[in-house]
Chains A and B, each alone.
Chain A
Amino acid sequence: MATVETGTAPSGFSEFWYYFSRNTGAVIGLAIFLVVLFVAVFAPVVAPHAPSAQNRDILLLPPVFMEGGQWAFPLGTDAVGRDILSRLIYGARFSLFIGVVVVTLSVLSGVLIGLVAGYFRGRVDTIIMRVMDIILAFPSLLLALVLVAVLGPGLVNAMIAIALVNQPHFVRLTRAAVMTEKTKDYVIASQVAGAGTMRLMFLTILPNCLAPLIVQATLAFSAAILDAAALGFLGMGAQPPTPEWGTMLAEAREFIQRAWWVVTFPGLAILITVLAINLMGDGLRDALDPKLKRS
């Protein structure tokens, strides 16, 4: 039998990449993010010094482009003579780690709870949504701050607290998406064909709700980095001498008038990382939102 050659349909990824790459900002964001990721993974190789190595004879050394700067310490040193660049490089590990842990925790729990609420509706749904309303009634940073005060200051507790205050957004989003999908024909068809509750929830409905969740997860990733840095800045996140960016800012605060660089660079690192992730988030939304594609 003769075979007919047909062009293959574009794969899901190539279609995604087509829309994503049309957004220049998103591609720049992705490039910056990959650099931060590389630096974080290979920190021991990339960093010129150990993050906690103190050089007591060169305290508050200015960056290399200023008078008195040294190439050995490109961004200068802090109040106990530690290399700022090396601390920032190691700090990237903490920020990305925080982002990954918080998003994983809040997505897993949020999607599961949202799926249950949206699928079963009724009393379960009402109770779940009321609890989410209660969490959302507090300003997120305040609730996280108080939770960390209860649990004890530290990076792990800060991550748990941030994941908890982030989670209602995923619950609401999943619930809304599940409620829209549940009445569609393909779900009913699957139900008629004899699919069980678990199959309907996780294999039939959930994959079709992913687009908004992926976008929200990106935003939550950058928000988690910001919140963790804010808690570190307030003294309730990672504790010194951990080279976490927010904690570094808190330590540097008292030298604000004498040595601007100890304050400027950690914040710049936070801003650049968060900005890169948000740029990617905008690109993801363009690529995944079918409504925007046609406009």
Chain B
Amino acid sequence: MFRFLLGRLAVLIPTFIGVSIIAFSFIRLLPGDPVMLMSGERVMAPERHAEIMHELGLDRPLYIQYFDYLGNLVTGDFGSSIVTKRPVLDDFLQLFPATIELSLCAIILAVALGIPAGVLAAVKRGTWLDQTIMGAALVGYSMPIFWWGLLLIIFFSGYLGWTPVSGRISLMYFFPPVTGFMLIDSLLSGQSGAFRSAVSYLILPTIVLATIPLAVIARQTRSAMLEVLGEDYVRTARAKGMSPFRVIGVHALRNAMIPVITTIGLQVGVLLAGAILTETIFSWPGIGKWMVDSVFKRDYAVVQGGLMLIAAVIMFVNLAVDLLYGLINPRIRN
């Protein structure tokens, strides 16, 4: 297992360096003068311009700038926002819990509905139920989620008036963040109604973000189950007179889960990409909206640092999934 871990890390480090080169060169590929962009001024004396270039270290050779940048990254310095002057890492850490909270709720919803739906479709293969579930899954898989979000807002927020449109909690409630997770913080605050409010703000974004992973998990579960249901040991279990519930729930499902777990792990990238759209539609203050806003504000220091941090998160999660997979399935360690 240790060798397996080392092997994975050996692949991860060059990838991380590559990602840092992309994020580093990105800001230098931009059209226009970085100093003018950062200062926001239209005219500048050449002396002042040179002074700022020197202050920012932009007058040094490119490779030295890169190594400086890499050195800063290692010590946790991801640069500062051009607009707010706040360190990028601070903003990221402050906003990230909102994205984690939304993504976790979405993946829980997707797994809780997707696996039973896939199992049901496989067991009832060829019936109208199978066709309905798989039809719905394909619609979910084909869904433009930014439009789906708008439709839900029109119906549930506009027409029925059940759910709020944007934000994380009603402005009536105010408490200092403890964990950054609104569901937990609202409970800790002890204010009556706060938790309910947080839930009502979370429902629609969760449904929107869960749609595609839900469809993917349902489809994957169905095909994995179909494969397993044809195996000899399932027939044996049936022949022994075991109840269908036990055959499917214990014997078949457990083995069908291996590819499904991989699929769930692969959804992390999908969730973060989905978060960009979902957070924009619902004004959810997470890193997806933060990145989109920064792109529009041309706050390239944030875009650069944010890219780096998001890629790091995805690589870390993928590594964790790989290790978990190695633990579950010893065959792949070699």
Q: Give the interface of A toward B (CB within 8 A).
A: 25, 130-131, 133-134, 136-143, 145-146, 149-150, 152, 222, 226, 229-230, 233-236, 246, 249, 253, 256-257, 260, 263-264, 266-267, 270-271, 274-275, 278-279, 282
Contact = CB atoms under 8 A, between A and B. Distances in A.
B95 interface: no
Contact of A137 (B15, B153, B292, B298): B15
B307 A146 contact: yes
A131 B18 CA distance: 7
Interface of B: 11, 14-15, 18-19, 22, 26, 29-31, 135, 138-139, 141-144, 146-148, 150-151, 153-154, 158, 269-270, 272-273, 276-277, 280, 291-292, 295-296, 298, 303, 307, 310-311, 314-315
B144 A278 contact: no
Nearest to A260: B154
Given A141-B276, A264-B151, A275-B139, A146 B295 contact: yes
Contacts of A226: 142, 144
18 contacts: A25-B135, A131-B18, A133-B11, A133-B15, A137-B19, A141-B277, A145-B276, A145-B295, A229-B144, A229-B146, A234-B280, A256-B150, A264-B154, A267-B148, A270-B147, A271-B139, A271-B143, A271-B144
A167 B14 CA distance: 20
B148 to A, nearest CB: 8
Contacts of B31: 152
B154 A263 contact: yes
User: What is the interface of chain A mostly: helix, strand, loop, or mixed?
Assistant: helix
Contacts of B146: 229-230, 233, 246, 249
A267 B273 contact: no
Contacts, number: 117
Given A233-B277, A270-B144, A274-B144, A138 B15 contact: no
A134 B15 contact: yes
Nearest to B287: A142
A95 to B, nearest CB: 11
Contacts of A140: 269, 273
Given A141-B277, A226-B144, A267-B144, A256 B30 contact: no
B295 A266 contact: no
Of B148, B273, B303, the most chain A CB neighbours within 10 A belong to B273
B158 A141 contact: no
A282 B295 contact: no
A222 B212 CA distance: 14
Given A152-B31, A263-B151, 13 more contacts: A130-B14, A130-B18, A134-B15, A137-B315, A139-B276, A146-B303, A150-B26, A253-B150, A257-B154, A267-B150, A271-B139, A278-B138, A279-B138
B150 A249 contact: yes
A282 B138 CA distance: 10
A257 B158 contact: yes
Nearest to A148: B295
Which 6 residue pairs spanning A and B have beta carbons closest together? A267-B147, A134-B18, A139-B273, A141-B273, A275-B142, A274-B142
Contacts of A256: 150, 153-154, 158
